[in-house]
Structure 1
């Protein structure tokens, strides 16, 4: 979206049980035997036996990785894969649209970690990664979150690597028919949607070998409606005090579905040789009907009933808002957006064992497209003869709300046509990737039991074509009814909200009438303005690029092992070298017109890794790791499109005459990180353990928009070009602690022995250097550069990262009954960079703490049939955020002023159905 091998399950008893363990796993090319699969496990069925096996693997492995393992088909412990990831220590998520739509690993999102599918890099269109929620839970065997790297891994980003593993026919002992049918019912949209998944697999003896085939179908669908009451991002002096002055109602509503097919063929002619072919189609479809009502409070004819808390307005009434400026300022839009993604990946590969040498190979083709079509009908109220009662409130309260008095939002006669906006984007990405790996084990050297080496080649293309256009008809006074559209009273939101605003529903066009009549609608606007085209918005060359990137990688690593009395020291050291070459094509905008431009860039990364484990006893061990990782800049940041300012004459005798402009930067380098990890693990029973780990990431080259000297001169004048655009400038540091404990209460009598629990907690201290207005007071974190204070930087918290995250999970598994009750909490976090306003004050959003309770339950009536019921977001607490304003009178920072900004009511989703397996 934009947007393995497993043990055969013994029963369908622990359908939604979770057990998180921090483990180390051996990554390898996609072909891998059961004995090679290592990692932590959040295991879903056969819980105790699986946990015992996972803990044994954890003790032997040489890297730190958290995994979610579905040992029975279709039984990942949440509706969406991304929701399940939230249970892993060090992982935080942001939720919208009835699912976790953004996954952060140790504070950084998917643009800073690599995503792979069965060990191969996978991405969506022109991006470098794929959204985890786009993987159907029914088709997933496991998800591995690598927090330390090794030389044989596909290059992780600075935050790590997330690998999604699918099933293969040899995972099963015989034929397999399994699937699920269930319904999804979001509480806010109240629209029941069908979902289904089906897996078919079999294997046959062929001569002295065997062959297997598997195909898996998945279809998930949901209609969500998130309701938001919020303020615009501005604080104004209003009625003699301070308050946000532009509250809004927003609905994020859409019908979303994800069809998916994956399959595999395996042929094992002998125990020493295996060949496979596998493929994946991943689809994403969304039809969004976003809408907004923006209600200004400024410029009113009069204000009354003002309630103050110091200098901040808590509530009040405005009569005839914007009367100062002619009125007609209340406005909004009705959106009609299509988002479509198709991602295909096909691969062929195999392994060959020749004595102690194992050779594995994999060649894959990935092709992905994303298509966006946004149309927006804008309206405004044609009178300001009304009043607004508004309530801003205090942080931690019920959030802002308002009530409009004096107009009827269901009356079409109060609406004028304000304009029509279109934004179209078609993006694509494809690659060929091939790797060849060698493992030599045993080596015959006692303290070096295994050697690994290999090479990898990737040829990647990324492109984008985009354009937008707006017909501005605000001053025409056209009744909305004159526009050739079908209109309805839009569905209301804010179900269960005791402080719902008014209006919650208003008059607007239907999705179908916008998209089905685009030519007529465009012609209507062309007739009024003489501008635009019936073919849609023209391509904007500034948003258009073509990029080719080739990378050549090679690595070597060695496993080592030493015995010092009763203590054993082992691990792995390695080095990976990666050469990257890019060619970018875009447009240079000069005073003479657009000119095609092409640039080349190249760099080499050397990525060492060292992982060490100390086994003090069979129950206690420690781990230490040092690795270097990097994240390449996004292709959009590499867009070479440049817009140059007019070439003014140089002053007589001037030697430093420059020309300025703005755009992307095709010469960006990767973001680099030096990573340090340590952990201590204690296994107190066969199904119980506790661990604590600490880590630090020192990162260089975070990308920020700054003025920089372009490596090539101005093609028109030969002058030095100084471009405002993305550049590697920021440094950052993330350090943290992760702790967890898990186990079953087997010692309790009778039915109580089915109880289990797990808990984990993560602390993150994440800071980076950001461009900032430097106050005159001494501040150790504020460093002034040339031309201070404008070039100053401030080391402050990285946006969207909570300091604290924890999970508490209660489990019960006995007989045919399985129940999981999971509580997730994340503390408050800053949103986006601080916005500086004229050097006199700064604004920054602050997301408040978030808590969530989810229930999963199932009952196996027979070995073949299980019924299940899930309920997510039981607490149904709205997400809230605030605006934090800091003033700088005389350059000295004041105490922060905090105003409520966003209150978002998200879906609480109920689902239930039947699983079958034969």
Structure 2
């Protein structure tokens, strides 16, 4: 614990203790006063309003709860005029007769004379935006709250596509999809994603661009979500694993509306990238909100969603591992990706009595990914050394002699290369056809309740169980050309750094109609993986409000238990294609019969990267593998080896205490959270010279305190200032905690490498400072500017060290002189940044411009880390990100345009600058159009990524050193929607 950490811990504890002492020093209600209780509703929709400010005279203000309820104590007797304020609606000033010692009941209906909208759908959308802004304005800590209505339809039903529009949020991308969320530029594993306040479950397997702590946002249907809350400064009642921040996805509830509501959407998707694909795929969603029971005291919310998307991907890839920029790889990948998302959610809200409310929630999410892929690759075979034609002439090389350098070492690059034209000599050539299937299922069972104990006391309790599974298998039929000395291949980027030309310069032809498949070898490869995860959560919170004093006080404490179990099983079976005689390379192999009958599709609509090439017909090869298994022979023991199994159980026990006091315009919230983490993990030791599989078990644990203090000062009803100090942590990826050890041996040195996970890793911890100023517009809007700083300790650092000799070297004396690769807590890091956020509906303008709305946000941060090699910027962080856009509603037409920008960022760190991988800046434009024929029928048309701009990777500091470029195309969504 740092000195500054302890400085803030003491006042946080003292504040909470002082609030406890208030229990014994609360003044009784004056005999000449009474109380007023009631409910605030929206006059247009009948919805109960949460967060409305209610006051009487010069007395203290109170906020309505989820059901719109409020209670004002110590109100002078007689006729009193209430003042009810809610963002986006007119101030209501009803009168009420207050009698001494009694409680007067009143229902307040607030409306807006500015937004006289007769369409219920429009009223509901505006109400959702106003409700979210109200929650943000009245929050005690720094956060952003946005209604899902604010951005129109969500592309492909992926909630991540909407979240990247929020202030301080950028995306982690895979196959053209947002799969994870980065808050304030930090990696996904630095932030938590919760569903109704509880950690979302997300088993995974196969390739994953983000750490396994990062939630899979693409597997949560947007149809279930009514609001997204992004917390930048956590309070003690929130989980502490949120260095970057946390998101809470609030699901829809029947309590949000007084009347029944049914919404629907039916449409189709279309991707315009590939000329040979002209497929429309369906999507549909429905939500029904109603109240049942004799007294309509049971709220029922049912959501169903289905989305089928075809998303092709083209990638061109090369390698620039030398400082001079020579290109030593020619590789392309073309995918046809199909994604199917389905989900069903059922939620019950039941008022058991005046004191107790219960809620039950059941949810099932289904995700299916099917990808057919063709890959072509010519790769450098001799460490990128330059040939000397005086040692071995070019004619000799073309004839089959190995290229040599001046020092007579093997070579692989022709002399005279530049950073825009390189010829590889002796290159290895291969191509393959793949199919990758992934199937994910998530289940969520949640029960929670609230009991009012009297005396302004409240008990909240919750329990949930969220199991999930994820299965994947990348199956590949690989064709290799085992020519003794390879082929020649040029990489030409003189015309375009993003669209290189690859041309064969010598060797057996690889072109369609010319390739001799008797020279090739075939191999079937499998990568089956199965992941399971179970997240169990239980918590109880106690809340006590002290209203009778001059300054309203709220005390809260609670306990939480969360268990996260994860299991991962990985196999790597391979089979050589040998034909009927069981010998690879003989005439009976007939690999030509497994090829496509026509030239294969190559990148960018076969636009010149390659000349016409043959392609593997994978369905035919897979069918042959299953119907004629005798034609394939296992590679070694790969298909009989026991799969690599890892599992881990992590228990987190937490307790917290916090207090919140309102000193007129000043709000003060402080407290401390304690978390104890216990880990029990099982892994595997893999050593080819010791083939006996040894499973290893490790246990460990650690604990930490997380104090925080949050100040909010209301300079006026519309202008707020905030200051926060908070602490957080980022636990290690579970793959870094599995006690796995892998040994590899060098045939030249006799030594080798030991790669080992570190079960003793501690979490990275941060101290966070926030300052912000917020101005709120009417009827709904905000302009805010904020500054933040994060000091991170125990930063994860990848290390490579030589293993010492002796029995105390950690391996019982074995592996002396080997290189040990592992992850340790060695570094420190610092993040400094600022955010600007603006959103406003310009209702003050004359018609039709009064229907115009604007939004913009920008986040910039500077990072620095202390690695073993010295100080540098942090990998995986996004230093610049921004959004801007406009919406316009005129009569029955609604239009939105949104622009998104993500700045260049470091993908992976290396002490050699030219080996540092970075993403180039990328921007995109989305357009949404909708026309309301009537509330029950609208037609919509969306354009996603209008200019088809996608990420590109480069090495070093020159953005022209591009190593891969992706193309996913522009997507169109169209269909019908409505609300009853």
TM class by shorter chain equals 0.7 to 0.9
- How far, CA to CA, are the matches of 1:645 and 1:347 in structure 2? 46
Q: Match of 2:554?
A: 450
Q: For residues 630-641 of structure 1, what are the structure 2 equivalents within 5 Å? A: 630-641=729-740
After superposition, what is the alpha-carbon deviation per residue over 1:60-103, rounded to whole angstroms, capped at 9, x for unaligned? 22122223313499844885311211111211224453432342
- How far, CA to CA, are the matches of 2:595 and 2:815 in structure 1? 55
1:121 to 176, 195, 199: 199
Q: Match of 1:675?
A: 768
Matched, 1:663 2:756: yes
- How far, CA to CA, are the matches of 2:916 and 2:963 in structure 1? 11
1:901 to 954, 963, 969: 963
Q: Match of 2:632?
A: 525
Q: CA deviation at 1:222?
A: 1.0
Task: State the secondary structure of the residue aligned to 1:170.
Answer: helix
- How far, CA to CA, are the matches of 1:135 and 1:525 in structure 2? 41
| Cα distance change on mapping 1:615 and 1:214 into 2, 3 Å | closer
Question: Is residue 258–residue 282 contact of structure 1 (8 Å, CA) maintained in 2?
Answer: yes
Q: Match of 1:251?
A: 334
1:844 to 888, 906, 916: 916
| Segment of structure 1 superposing worse, 827-836 or 249-258 | 827-836
Q: For residues 218-617 of structure 1, what are the structure 2 equivalents within 5 Å? A: 218-235=305-322, 243-296=326-379, 301=394, 312-315=418-421, 322=425, 325=426, 329-355=428-454, 356-381=456-481, 390-393=491-494, 397-404=497-504, 407=509, 409-411=511-513, 413-415=515-517, 416-442=520-546, 444-447=548-551, 449-471=553-575, 476-477=584-585, 481-482=590-591, 485=594, 487=596, 489=598, 492=601, 494-495=603-604, 500-503=608-611, 506-510=614-618, 512-516=619-623, 518-520=625-627, 523-526=630-633, 531-532=636-637, 536=639, 538-541=641-644, 544-563=645-664, 568-588=665-685, 593-617=692-716
Matched, 1:876 2:948: yes
- How far, CA to CA, are the matches of 2:704 and 2:273 in structure 1? 49
- How far, CA to CA, are the matches of 1:8 and 1:547 in structure 2? 49
- How far, CA to CA, are the matches of 1:310 and 1:9 in structure 2? 78
1:864 to 917, 931, 936: 936
| Cα distance change on mapping 1:915 and 1:572 into 2, 3 Å | same
Q: CA deviation at 1:692?
A: 0.4
Q: Match of 2:827?
A: 730
Q: Match of 2:15?
A: none
| Segment of structure 1 superposing worse, 285-294 or 744-753 | 744-753
- How far, CA to CA, are the matches of 1:197 and 1:163 in structure 2? 22
Matched, 1:179 2:280: no
Question: Is residue 577–residue 631 contact of structure 2 (8 Å, CA) maintained in 1?
Answer: no
| Segment of structure 1 superposing worse, 589-598 or 68-77 | 68-77
- How far, CA to CA, are the matches of 1:613 and 1:504 in structure 2? 66
- How far, CA to CA, are the matches of 1:671 and 1:314 in structure 2? 42
Q: CA deviation at 1:404?
A: 4.7
After superposition, what is the alpha-carbon deviation per residue over 1:466-524, rounded to whole angstroms, capped at 9, x for unaligned? 12134467995468743885745576354479x641247642123x4455554457543
Q: Match of 1:686?
A: 779
Task: State the secondary structure of the residue aligned to 1:508.
Answer: coil
| Cα distance change on mapping 1:476 and 1:768 into 2, 3 Å | farther
| Cα distance change on mapping 1:707 and 1:213 into 2, 3 Å | same
Task: State the secondary structure of the residue aligned to 1:58.
Answer: helix
- How far, CA to CA, are the matches of 1:488 and 1:34 in structure 2? 68
- How far, CA to CA, are the matches of 2:780 and 2:696 in structure 1? 61
Q: Which protein has the bigger strand share?
A: 1
After superposition, what is the alpha-carbon deviation per residue over 1:812-834, rounded to whole angstroms, capped at 9, x for unaligned? 01221111001111222222122
| Cα distance change on mapping 1:33 and 1:518 into 2, 3 Å | farther
Q: Match of 1:816?
A: 892
| Cα distance change on mapping 1:659 and 1:182 into 2, 3 Å | closer
Task: State the secondary structure of the residue aligned to 2:302.
Answer: strand
- How far, CA to CA, are the matches of 1:83 and 1:723 in structure 2? 40
After superposition, what is the alpha-carbon deviation per residue over 1:108-135, rounded to whole angstroms, capped at 9, x for unaligned? 2322211111111112126444311212
Task: State the secondary structure of the residue aligned to 2:223.
Answer: helix
Matched, 1:146 2:218: no
| Cα distance change on mapping 1:210 and 1:515 into 2, 3 Å | farther
Task: State the secondary structure of the residue aligned to 1:334.
Answer: strand
Question: Is residue 8–residue 71 contact of structure 1 (8 Å, CA) maintained in 2?
Answer: no
Query: TM-score, normalized by length of structure 1?
Result: 0.81
Q: CA deviation at 1:434?
A: 0.6
- How far, CA to CA, are the matches of 2:744 and 2:586 in structure 1? 38
2:299 to 192, 212, 224: 212
Question: Is residue 545–residue 552 contact of structure 2 (8 Å, CA) maintained in 1?
Answer: no
Q: For residues 77-88 of structure 1, what are the structure 2 equivalents within 5 Å? A: 79-88=157-166
Gaps of 5+ in 1: 12-30, 647-657, 771-791, 886-895
Gaps of 5+ in 2: 1-38, 46-64, 71-84, 89-114, 116-120, 205-211, 388-392, 399-413, 746-750
- How far, CA to CA, are the matches of 2:44 and 2:312 in structure 1? 40
After superposition, what is the alpha-carbon deviation per residue over 1:188-238, rounded to whole angstroms, capped at 9, x for unaligned? 2432111111223321233x56223232111111111111122135349xx
